[in-house]
Chain A
Amino acid sequence: GESVGLHLPTLSVQEGDNSIINCAYSNSASDYFIWYKQESGKGPQFIIDIRSNMDKRQGQRVTVLLNKTVKHLSLQIAATQPGDSAVYFCAENFLQVLDKLIFGTGTRLQVFP
């Protein structure tokens, strides 16, 4: 069945360094991908999204890269800050109409001073 998974369950980085969180997806028909950040006790918070007709999209301190050839998605966070500590999820949508999102299990990002 379709699945979205993450390579690393936990990522530890030094404050100020760049972080890269990876995600693999299995359904080549997916046309929309989203990264969410979830802090303890809160719901997922939208970070950035990308459509399948794009390879790269940049936001404020974040960049999402999409490699459709190998079905791989990554989230890059520049100059990681303590406030970036959270669990990060990638999610995919299979249809052009935004309905169910398929989430992976998440990667925990820990930022050390």
Chain B
Amino acid sequence: DAMVIQNPRYQVTQFGKPVTLSCSQTLNHNVMYWYQQKSSQAPKLLFHYYDKDFNNEADTPDNFQSRRPNTSFCFLDIRSPGLGDAAMYLCATSSRLAGGRDEQYFGPGTRLTVT
């Protein structure tokens, strides 16, 4: 089945220790997104790629970086995690439809704990 895969599902890192979260997709979608979601809140968009074109949200901290080496893979790098970065990180993909509709397909998420 075509899908969005995130690894690992659970990640524990230490305060200030760099961490990388990965996302892969078999949907062959040209758009990939990274969201941060804290408890009982809506997902907050960090950035997205349209093919290799990177689009950063204005309020995304510099501490968060992303790489997309090819269509299938996208990585989220947190350079110096703080306690406030503990959250669920969601990867999503989409292929823009007629009329500008952007239906997104989410991975299961990576739960990040910062100790």
A, B in one complex? no
